[in-house]
Structure 1
Amino acid sequence: MDKNMTDMGILNELSELISLRMKSFFELTHDTKWIEHKAHTDYDLWFVQSGIVTITIDGFEHTANPGDVVFFYPGVPYMAAASNKGCRFIYIHFDFEIGKQERILNDFQLSGVIPQELIREEAILFGKAFTQSNLLRSIPGNRLYLKACLTAVIAKIIELHGLGQYTGTFLNGRTSRKVQSNLDVLQPVFKYVNNNLHKSIKINELAAFVGISEKYFITYFKKALGITPGQYIYQIKMNRAREYLNEKKYTIQQIANLLGYPDPFTFSKSFKKYYNVAPSKFE
């Protein structure tokens, strides 16, 4: 399997734990004299509407054309300038997190200019939602719809990266997160959990895969992923339980065995705690 697909898979598995918060959004028009030196404190997307924007990071110049989407990571200094005709773009500041990990996207090479031909549909949808949100602010659901469209844009960027169709170039292959919280170290752990859901998984077994003590492993895992190893295992088991029930091929007893529960009662109790419904009544 492609490394990117393996990496991005964690965002699928933990999608129900992801929270997205829009902080501010606005449309800006700049003349030819505009130059901006800045580093954002949160995630930032620019939807270029007209003109050409030049972004310089670490001495490398990047160009964004109308229809392109520009993705900035927090804490990365840049210089931006307009072309000789000025520029106009919609920006949005947002937070994207899993559990307590507010910078989960920093582990992936997403920061850069996404060409319009790769994200045209999602960018247009967001632009329309933005216009509607400004014109019809009193209409219930407008802000929620804008958030849904932003989610679609981010999901598309993640999909493009996972499929190997896009890699951000702003960081030039570097990671903006410290090594001690990098998800790459945990890849063997994710694989082991997926392959051993049929049995009781011990935390010390997982720690052994990365060669560190159990205590430090728990700290490292939570810092990297925003949740504890136990929460991760529980989430994966509940994901699989839902899939097995939807397939309608297995009994409750069989699913309990497939997921390493000692008996159907223990599995049912765990399932109901998560989904608020017994597995026998799940639809």
Structure 2
Amino acid sequence: MKGTELFNDLSEHVSLRITSYNKADHDAGWVESKSHHNYDLWLIEEGRIEVDLGSAMHTASSGDAVLFYPGVPYTAMNGGTACRFLYLHFDFGLGEQQRILGAFPLSGIVPAREIAAEATAMHKAFEESREGSGMWGMRLKGSLMMLIARIVESYGDGNYEGDFLTGSAAGEHAKHLVELKTTIEFIQRNLQRAVRISELAEVAGMSEKYFIRYFKQALGVTPGQYMLQLRMNRARDLVYSHRYTMQQIASFVGYPDPYSFSKAFKKHYKVSPSKFV
């Protein structure tokens, strides 16, 4: 299981905050050794950059992106030619899990061919930010979200996999999603009925108390929040289809009657199903 469908299932719980950004120009012979507290993304505009993480050397060229995970030390250098790149430091979370990207092998050199359109939009948003024109703040954040989404999508489609981290360094958090695979699939198959947390804990082979803590640590939301979000996602799509009655939709997403379903739907979306479209 790639697990990237979680970003669609829980898109309302995704958060992104840019902490700093700028453009860097370095003459030939530049060397930088450090690690960052936040995620760090570089968009290479000119030249070639070699990145050494101690086990292997990686090369990024014009058009490529370089994605660093927090706390990972590296040495970057440009050798005998100058280089220029746009960099952004940012936080990216899912619910209360503020290091969710670490569950996936995304850190590495992202080829230009995978992100061409998104990188172009990011460069444009950056120039708008320097000029202070339009809604540049929202455009910059939106462009970064689109770029991260594209990297995640490329990994999910099997077109890209980062190679900055390997083995145990790939992140202890990654194994949580694998161990919850059966439980997540069980939830998705049983949205049409009420599912007790104790059932999910049994499927996961954990005590109920430990399961709740483990699930939230992995996904950033509680099992109850995850089930509610999936039910509301499905309900929204069914309402949009105009093919089913409220009674039918209620039964499809695990509510005993149209009243309790409409009440839950309105609490979640701030509007009743009948007025949603």
Q: Same fold (TM over 0.5)?
A: yes
For the 8 Å contact 1:17–1:98, the answer to whether it is kept is: yes
Q: Does 2:221 align with 1:223?
A: no
Match of 1:275 among 261, 269, 275: 269
Task: Measure the CA separation in 2 of the matches of 1:264 and 1:93.
Answer: 46
Q: Which runs of 5+ in 2 are unaligned?
A: none
Provide the residue aligned with 2:47 in structure 1. 51
After the TM superposition, which residues 3-42 of structure 1 pair with which residues of structure 2 at under 5 Å, given as runs?
3-4=1-2, 7-42=3-38
- Residue identity opposite 2:86 in structure 1: I
Provide the residue aligned with 1:165 in structure 2. 159
Q: Does 2:153 align with 1:147?
A: no
For the 8 Å contact 1:108–1:175, the answer to whether it is kept is: no
Task: Measure the CA separation in 1 of the matches of 2:83 and 2:166.
Answer: 25
- Residue identity opposite 2:85 in structure 1: F
Provide the residue aligned with 1:232 in structure 2. 226
- Residue identity opposite 2:230 in structure 1: I
Deviation readout 1:234-269 (Å, 9 max, x if unpaired): 000000000111111111000111111111111111
Match of 2:200 among 190, 203, 206: 206
Q: Which runs of 5+ in 1 are unaligned?
A: none
- Residue identity opposite 2:97 in structure 1: Q
* Aligned-residue offset at 1:32: 2.1
Match of 1:192, SS state, is helix
For the 8 Å contact 1:106–1:175, the answer to whether it is kept is: no
Provide the residue aligned with 1:95 in structure 2. 91
Normalising by structure 1, report the TM-score: 0.95
* Aligned-residue offset at 1:180: 8.7
For the 8 Å contact 1:28–1:90, the answer to whether it is kept is: yes
Provide the residue aligned with 2:120 in structure 1. 124
For the 8 Å contact 1:109–1:175, the answer to whether it is kept is: no
Match of 2:79, SS state, is strand
Task: Measure the CA separation in 1 of the matches of 2:202 and 2:169.
Answer: 25
Task: Measure the CA separation in 2 of the matches of 1:176 and 1:167.
Answer: 12
Q: Does 2:265 align with 1:259?
A: no
After the TM superposition, which residues 174-193 of structure 1 pair with which residues of structure 2 at under 5 Å, given as runs?
174=168, 176-179=170-173, 182-193=176-187
Provide the residue aligned with 2:188 in structure 1. 194
Aligned alpha-carbon RMSD (Å): 1.3
Task: Measure the CA separation in 1 of the matches of 2:139 and 2:164.
Answer: 29
* Aligned-residue offset at 1:153: 0.6
Q: Could you say if the C-alpha distance between residues 110 and 174 of structure 1 is closer, same or farther in structure 2, counting changes exceeding 3 Å? A: farther
Larger deviation, residues 179-188 vs 208-217: 179-188
Normalising by structure 2, report the TM-score: 0.97
For the 8 Å contact 2:30–2:79, the answer to whether it is kept is: no
* Aligned-residue offset at 1:179: 4.9
For the 8 Å contact 2:103–2:174, the answer to whether it is kept is: no
